[in-house]
Structure 1
Amino acid sequence: MKKIQSYILLAFAGIAVTSGCTKLNEEVLDEILITQQTEKEVAEGVTSAAYAKLPDIWQHTTYFALQEISTDEAILPYRGGTDWGDNGIYLSLHRHETTSTDPNVRNTWNHIFQGISRAFTAMEALKTNKDPNAPLFLAEARGIAAYYSMLSFDLFGLVFVKEDAEKTSKILRGTEALEYIKSELLAIEPVVESTTGPGRITKGAVWGLLARLYLNAAVYRDRYAATFDFKKEDMDKVVEYCDKIISSGQYSLSPEYFALFDDANHTNKELIFAVDQRADLNGHNRMAYFSLSGDMFPLPAYTGANGTDGPAITPDFYRAWANSTAPLDPAQADGRFFKQNLSIYTNPNDSCVEASKFNINRGILRGQQYGLVRQGGVFLKCDNGFMKLRKLVHDTRSKPTLLVDFTEQVDFTVPGSNYNSGYRVSKYEFSKTSVSGRNFGEHDIVILRLADAYLMRAEAKLRRGDAAATALADVNTVRASRTARIVPAPLTTINLDLLLRERGFEFYWESQRRTDMIRFGKYEGTWTEKNNTDKQKRIFPIPQSQIDGSSILPGYLVQNPGY
Structure 2
Amino acid sequence: MNKQFRSGGAALAVTASLLGGGLSGCTKDLDRTPFYDLNTESVYKDPANYIQVLAKCYAGFNLSGNSGSPDVFAGQGKDEGETSYLRAYWYLQELTTDEAVVAWNSGPLQELNRTTWSSSNDLINNSYTRIFYEVTLCNEFIRETTDDKLSSRGIAGADADNARLDRAEARFLRALAYYHALDMYANVPFVTEADAPSKNLPKQIKRADLFAYVESELKAIEPLLKAARQGPYGRADQGAAQTLLAKLYLNAEVYTGTARYTDCLTYCNKVIGGGYALSQTSPATAANPKPASGYAKLFMADNNVTGASEIIFPITSDGLVSQVYGGTTYLVHAQVGDSMVAKNFGINGGWFGNRTRKNLPLLFAGGASSADSRAMFFTPGHTLEIKDLTASTNGYATTKWKNVTSTGAPGSDPQGIFVDTDFPMFRLGDVYLMYAEAVQRGGQGGTPAQALTYVNALRDRAYNNSGTGTAGHVTAADVASPDFILAERGRELYWEGSRRTDLIRFGKFTSASYLWPWKGGVAAGQGVSANLNIFPLPSTDIVANPTLTQNTGY
TM-score for both structures, normalised by structure 1 = 0.75
1:435 and 1:146 mapped to 2: Cα distance? 33
1:206 and 1:198 mapped to 2: Cα distance? 15
2:429 and 2:418 mapped to 1: Cα distance? 27
Cα deviation, 1:420-470, whole Å, max 9, x if unaligned, reads 221011211135224366541211111000011111010000001676444
2:297 and 2:84 mapped to 1: Cα distance? 20
Report the alpha carbon displacement of residue 110 of structure 1 after superposing the two structures with TM: 1.3
1:156 aligns with 2:156: no
- 1:253 touches 1:451 (CA, 8 Å); kept in 2? no
Larger strand percent: 1
SS at match of 2:34: strand
Q: Which residue of 2 aligns with 1:396?
A: none
2:471 and 2:100 mapped to 1: Cα distance? 23
1:111 aligns with 2:133: no
2:21 and 2:110 mapped to 1: Cα distance? 38
2:551 and 2:204 mapped to 1: Cα distance? 13
Where do 1:244-255 residues align within 5 Å? 244-255=270-281
Where do 1:17-28 residues align within 5 Å? 17=34
- 2:94 touches 2:498 (CA, 8 Å); kept in 1? yes
SS at match of 2:516: coil
1:309 aligns with 2:322: no
Cα deviation, 1:232-282, whole Å, max 9, x if unaligned, reads xx1111111111111122444434101001101113210001101134642
Q: Which residue of 2 aligns with 1:364?
A: 377
Report the alpha carbon displacement of residue 295 of structure 1 after superposing the two structures with TM: 5.0
Which residue, out of 530, 533, 549, partners 1:558?
549
2:18 and 2:353 mapped to 1: Cα distance? 40
SS at match of 1:447: strand
1:546 and 1:436 mapped to 2: Cα distance? 42
Where do 1:187-336 residues align within 5 Å? 187-194=220-227, 195-222=230-257, 231=259, 234-255=260-281, 256-267=294-305, 268=307, 269-279=309-319, 281-284=321-324, 285-299=329-343, 305-321=348-364, 325-326=365-366, 331-336=369-374
Change in 2 beyond 3 A, CA 1:5/1:509: closer
Percent of aligned pairs sharing the same letter = 28
Change in 2 beyond 3 A, CA 1:96/1:9: closer
Q: Which residue of 2 aligns with 1:387?
A: none
Where do 1:159-170 residues align within 5 Å? 159=188, 160-162=190-192, 163-165=194-196, 166=198, 168-170=201-203
Which residue, out of 56, 67, 72, partners 2:93?
67
* Uncovered stretches (5+) of structure 2, i.e. residues with no partner: 1-16, 64-82, 282-293, 405-409, 520-525
Where do 1:337-486 residues align within 5 Å? 337=375, 363-367=376-380, 405-412=381-388, 417-431=390-404, 432-435=410-413, 439-464=417-442, 468-482=448-462
Cα deviation, 1:184-210, whole Å, max 9, x if unaligned, reads 111100111132244221100000000
* Uncovered stretches (5+) of structure 1, i.e. residues with no partner: 22-32, 78-83, 223-228, 338-362, 368-404
- CA RMSD between the two structures: 3.0
1:203 is aligned with what amino acid?
Q
Change in 2 beyond 3 A, CA 1:330/1:424: closer
1:124 aligns with 2:164: no
Report the alpha carbon displacement of residue 503 of structure 1 after superposing the two structures with TM: 0.3
Report the alpha carbon displacement of residue 305 of structure 1 after superposing the two structures with TM: 1.6
1:182 and 1:534 mapped to 2: Cα distance? 30
Change in 2 beyond 3 A, CA 1:199/1:280: farther
1:112 is aligned with what amino acid?
I
Report the alpha carbon displacement of residue 290 of structure 1 after superposing the two structures with TM: 0.8
Change in 2 beyond 3 A, CA 1:117/1:289: same
Cα deviation, 1:337-376, whole Å, max 9, x if unaligned, reads 1xxxxxxxxxxxxxxxxxxxxxxxxx21112xxxxxxxxx
Larger Rg: 1
1:43 aligns with 2:83: no
Cα deviation, 1:357-401, whole Å, max 9, x if unaligned, reads xxxxxx21112xxxxxxxxxxxxxxxxxxxxxxxxxxxxxxxxxx
Q: Which residue of 1 aligns with 2:13?
A: none
1:147 aligns with 2:176: yes
1:488 and 1:161 mapped to 2: Cα distance? 51
2:344 and 2:21 mapped to 1: Cα distance? 46
1:150 is aligned with what amino acid?
Y
1:252 and 1:39 mapped to 2: Cα distance? 41
1:95 aligns with 2:114: yes
Change in 2 beyond 3 A, CA 1:437/1:204: farther
Report the alpha carbon displacement of residue 96 of structure 1 after superposing the two structures with TM: 1.8
- 1:4 touches 1:17 (CA, 8 Å); kept in 2? no
1:423 and 1:240 mapped to 2: Cα distance? 39
Change in 2 beyond 3 A, CA 1:6/1:289: closer
1:410 is aligned with what amino acid?
I
TM-score for both structures, normalised by structure 2 = 0.76
SS at match of 2:314: strand
SS at match of 1:171: strand
1:13 is aligned with what amino acid?
D
Q: Which residue of 1 aligns with 2:60?
A: 53
